[in-house]
Amino acid sequence: MEEDLVSRANALYWGSEASVNRLAEELDLSKGALYDMIEPYPAGIPCPHGDGEMRYANRTARDRGFVACDQCGFEDEEIHLVGDQDGFPAETDQPRGQTTANGTSTGRLVGSALVGVAVGVLIAGLVRRR
Ligand SMILES: [Zn+2]
């Protein structure tokens, strides 16, 4: 019975976008009791330390792609752990990061130029007002 409620709570929590308040109401639980029942959701990614499975602690973590190992507690962003199909975790994408850095640095220059213009306009406006 109790186990049924736990699996139902988890199915509803992970399988819907309904607010925790609404789910608690639906299951006739307090919000705290519901949170206590929520079990981390498997992300389908093995821990880079090879000791467990990466899981999402809650829906917010899942939305942000934030995973944690259920064994050693190692935490990382999902994006660092997937996409490296060659089996090398985060540390090895240093060279790849540098190739994309060229693209982003031009973007950043344009961005700061725009910020500079915006600040200039702002200052001009302030000066004019006085
Ligand atoms: Zn681990």
11-17: average pLDDT: 96
Answer yes or no: are the C-beta atoms of 69 and 54 closer than 8 Å: yes
Q: What is the DSSP letter of 113?
A: H
Residue 36 has pLDDT above 90, yes or no: yes
Residue type, 114: L
Domain ranges, ordered by start, for the chain: 1-39
Answer yes or no: are the C-beta atoms of 13 and 38 closer than 8 Å: yes
Spacing, Cα 77 to ligand 1 middle (Å): 14
2-21: average pLDDT: 94
> What pLDDT digit, counting tens, does each position of 49-95 carry?
999 999 999 999 999 999 999 999 999 999 999 865 555 555 544 44
Closest CA to 49 of 28, 76, 85: 76
The values of phi and psi at residue 43, to 5°, are: -90, -10
Spacing, Cα 16 to ligand 1 middle (Å): 28
CA distance 56 to 41: 5
